[in-house]
Amino acid sequence: MHYNNKNIVITGAASGIGLALTQKLATFPGVKILATDINPIKTDLPNSVICHQGDISQPEQIEGILDLAEKELGQIDIFIANAGFAYYEQQQADWKRINNIFACNTFSPIYTAQAMQKRYSNPYQILITASFMGYHSLAGYALYSATKSALIAWADAYRWEKPENASISVLCPVATKTEFFQTKAPVPWPAQTAEQVANAAIKGLAKYKRNIFPSQLSQISRFVNWILPLTLPLYQRIEALKFKKWQKQPNN
């Protein structure tokens, strides 16, 4: 697959991975992009990029974004469901807080795929940003890991249910060096830049890869843990110690 003349929607495009993807995809000839985020997109972007501010955590908002994209671009060729956020916290009984993160991180990409299936009979691709924490969760990120693990499981089954004209890929980066987490939390090891993740996503999506792992180290770690099952619990224990230390700090 090539990107020339494609109509693309990218959510969570104001910063981090979403912004890096927007900037890189906008360089392909004839590409038109609808870039949307809950926050204003303040970065200067080419005229081929239409910036939109909206909340993708509600179904009517998603339908509105699809309607706007079709009006401004034409049929969507690629939808990149990248929007999401994380909590780094001790668990608390707060139903609204739990619902908020699942609505944005999990419900929204799933609903988007279902809505596009209903709308389109021509070929299209969906890229969902999950996380390597969806495979190996860490202390402090319990809810975040759960939202991403659910996405990975859903996509794995949806591939057997989806129509032939649809293609779905799941992006699984390790911790990314951006303001994404919006906390004073320690960044888990290993980490990579948004540009590295975007480059891997673009290459993987072009090859219709089912799962895209931008960090080679993450793939190696899965193999090592299969050979030496104690590797993952040891790593998780180290991160748990970081979490307990973080909890003791003022205002956390």
CB 57 within 8 A of CB 107: yes
- pLDDT average, residue stretch 61-65: 97
How does DSSP assign 123-176, residue by residue? Answer: -EEEEEE--GGGTS--TT-HHHHHHHHHHHHHHHHHTTTS-TTEEEEEE---EE
* This prediction's pTM: 0.91
Average pLDDT, integer, range 81-110: 94
- Within 10 angstroms of residue 183's Cβ, the number of other Cβ atoms is 16
pLDDT one-digit tens code per residue, 65-93: 999 999 999 999 999 999 999 888 888 89
Architecture label for domain 7-247:
3-Layer(aba) Sandwich (3.40)
pLDDT digits (tens, 9 = 90+) for 191-232: 788 999 999 999 999 999 999 999 776 666 666 566 766 677
Instruction: Assess whether pLDDT exceeds 60 at residue 241.
Output: yes
Residues 222 and 207: their CA atoms lie apart, in Å, by 22
**pLDDT of res. 219:** 65
pLDDT tens figures, 4-42: 999 999 999 999 999 999 999 999 999 999 999 999 999
In the chain, where are the structural domains located?
Answer: 7-247
